[in-house]
């Protein structure tokens, strides 16, 4: 008997009418002979309201354990309502809070990690022929307090539950109908992918294609959970995220991702000597600022270097402040900061066995007169930093160049 974990996000359970539609969809799966465990988010908007109340009382120093107590209440509402809606359709169902479903986490309130799921109660419920409706986003700490997994944590809850139950599939229902070759709001010819590997999905997710939470993809990869991303508003297959050997298409490049959450800093005219990179990146690391792409160039006479790197846009002012505080120690002439940049990435597991992917990228951008400010690569992706004004042009050109355009 097929066992499926289904996860519905906040817009899919935003009000009783939508909850009723979710119940009807689950009923179809049950009638098709599947055993279904459901993971839910809170109603869209609820968590924001709860967070706003916390911040109204204490904008800064609030106790993360109490924050979790407050924000975990949202899923409690939706799981109970969905169980009622299912029963109303004649589908036996029972709701489980995180602790009732045996979701054990560490004590890192607000961003807890799942340590284990003791699935006995949920499994018993499923074996009795009932739908188990589980609160996503939440768990229980070792000292018996309610924890939450951080924003988007319900995806992680669903994948972890699917792993613990050895489910055949984990269906993530969302407001998009799958993973696209690139952002369809920018590139009209973007195509929905039938399949994508975990590795590619990780790159797509962390590079800004906000379909699945990165942590949930990493977890799915580690436990070989077959994840399907699909729309909760339509009734058609989505994109299956799976192992490389399940991918049959011979597609070298799977998609073009981009991220606007980038800012570039150039530390100019640093006296070139051993240890200058450490002198710059040490203070930034201490300030918990992540640095991504790094380019070092040396002046013609070999005496000075320019160091260019990217940070997230939100970190830009802090990063500049840190560098200015360490100006004497680093010994640079000036700092140039630019928040109007985007990172565009070509992603595909096929790159491992195919040369020329990066070359085609650079040539395509050059042909459009787009200057590349920095480059980084991994086994399955090539990323470039370009001026933000060229973002749409770059995406469309690359999408065509790699033969991804749909009908």
State the residues that interact with a second copy by CB under 8 A.
Answer: 16, 19-20, 50, 53-54, 56-58, 61-63, 65-70, 72-74, 76-77, 79-81, 83-85, 87-88, 94-95, 97, 100, 121, 144-146
CA 145/CA 161 separation, integer angstroms: 20
Q: Min. distance of Cβ 194 from a second copy in angstroms?
A: 35
Q: Min. distance of Cβ 314 from a second copy in angstroms?
A: 24
Q: Min. distance of Cβ 152 from a second copy in angstroms?
A: 21
CB 259 within 8 A of CB 207: yes
Q: Which is nearer to a second copy, 19 or 361 (CB)?
A: 19
CA 167/CA 4 separation, integer angstroms: 6
Q: Min. distance of Cβ 343 from a second copy in angstroms?
A: 37
CB 170 within 8 A of CB 227: yes
Q: Which is nearer to a second copy, 133 or 265 (CB)?
A: 133
DSSP assignment of 36-102, as one string? EEEEE-PPTTHHHHHHHHHHHH-SS---HHHHHHHHTHHHHHHHHHHHHHHHHTT--EEEE-TTTTT
Q: Min. distance of Cβ 38 from a second copy in angstroms?
A: 13
Q: Which is nearer to a second copy, 101 or 398 (CB)?
A: 101
Q: Min. distance of Cβ 28 from a second copy in angstroms?
A: 18
Q: Which is nearer to a second copy, 74 or 238 (CB)?
A: 74
Q: Which residues have C-beta within 8 Å of that of residue 131, sequence separation ≥ 6?
A: 26, 30, 36, 37, 38, 83, 86, 91, 92, 93, 94, 125
Residue found under tokens 């846009």: 313
Q: Which is nearer to a second copy, 53 or 249 (CB)?
A: 53
288 alpha-carbon distance from chain centroid: 20
Q: Min. distance of Cβ 218 from a second copy in angstroms?
A: 30
Q: Which is nearer to a second copy, 83 or 162 (CB)?
A: 83
Q: Which is nearer to a second copy, 64 or 375 (CB)?
A: 64
Q: Which residues have C-beta within 8 Å of that of residue 190, sequence separation ≥ 6?
A: 180, 181, 182, 183, 184, 399, 404, 406
Q: Which is nearer to a second copy, 121 or 320 (CB)?
A: 121
CA 89/CA 23 separation, integer angstroms: 8
| β-sheet bridge partners, residue 138 | 148
Q: Min. distance of Cβ 66 from a second copy in angstroms?
A: 4
Q: Min. distance of Cβ 69 from a second copy in angstroms?
A: 4
DSSP assignment of 139-199, as one string? EE-TTS-EEE--TTHHHHHHHHHHHHHT-SEEEEEESSSS-BSS-TTT-TT--B-SEEEHH
- The overall longest dimension of the chain from CA atoms, in Å, is 80
- Helix, strand and coil percent figures for the chain, each rounded to 5: 40, 25, 35
CA 384/CA 390 separation, integer angstroms: 12
Q: Which is nearer to a second copy, 53 or 166 (CB)?
A: 53
């Amino acid at each position: 008997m097929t066992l499926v974990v289904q996860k519905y996000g906040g817009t899919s359970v935003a009000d009783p009418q939508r909850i009723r539609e979710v119940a009807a969809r689950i009923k179809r799966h049950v009638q098709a002979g599947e055993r279904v465990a459901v993971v839910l988010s809170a109603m869209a908007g609820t968590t924001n309201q709860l967070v706003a109340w916390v911040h109204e009382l204490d904008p800064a120093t609030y106790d993360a354990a109490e924050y979790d107590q407050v924000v975990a209440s949202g899923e409690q509402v939706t799981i109970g309502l969905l169980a009622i809606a299912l029963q109303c359709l004649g589908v036996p169902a029972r709701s489980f809070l995180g602790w009732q479903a045996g979701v054990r986490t560490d004590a890192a309130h607000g961003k807890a990690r799942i340590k284990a799921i003791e699935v006995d109660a949920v499994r018993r419920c499923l074996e009795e022929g009932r739908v188990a409706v589980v609160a996503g986003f939440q768990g229980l700490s070792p000292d018996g307090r309610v924890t939450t997994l951080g924003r988007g944590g319900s995806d992680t809850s669903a994948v972890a539950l699917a792993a613990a139950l050895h489910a055949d599939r984990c269906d993530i229902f969302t407001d998009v109908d799958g993973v696209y070759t690139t952002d369809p709001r920018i590139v009209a010819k973007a195509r929905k992918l039938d399949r994508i590997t975990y590795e590619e999905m990780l790159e797509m997710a962390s590079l800004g294609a906000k379909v699945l939470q990165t942590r949930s993809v990493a977890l799915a990869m580690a436990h070989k959970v077959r994840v399907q991303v699909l729309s909760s508003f339509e009734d058609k297959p989505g994109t299956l995220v799976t192992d490389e050997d399940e991918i049959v298409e011979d597609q070298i490049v799977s998609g073009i991702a981009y991220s606007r959450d980038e800012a570039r800093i150039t530390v100019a005219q640093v006296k070139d000597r051993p240890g200058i990179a450490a002198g710059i990146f040490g203070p930034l690391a201490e300030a918990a600022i992540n640095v991504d792409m790094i380019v070092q160039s040396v002046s013609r006479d070999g005496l000075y270097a320019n160091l260019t790197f990217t940070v997230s846009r939100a970190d830009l002012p802090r990063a500049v402040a840190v560098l200015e505080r360490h100006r004497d120690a680093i010994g640079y002439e000036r700092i140039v900061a630019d928040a109007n940049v985007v990172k565009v990435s070509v992603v595909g597991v096929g790159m491992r066995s195919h040369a020329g992917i990066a070359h085609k990228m650079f040539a395509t951008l050059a042909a459009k007169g787009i200057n590349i400010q920095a480059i980084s690569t991994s086994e399955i992706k090539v990323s470039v930093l370009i001026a933000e004004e060229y973002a749409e042009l770059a995406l469309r050109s690359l999408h065509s160049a790699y033969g991804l355009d749909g009908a």
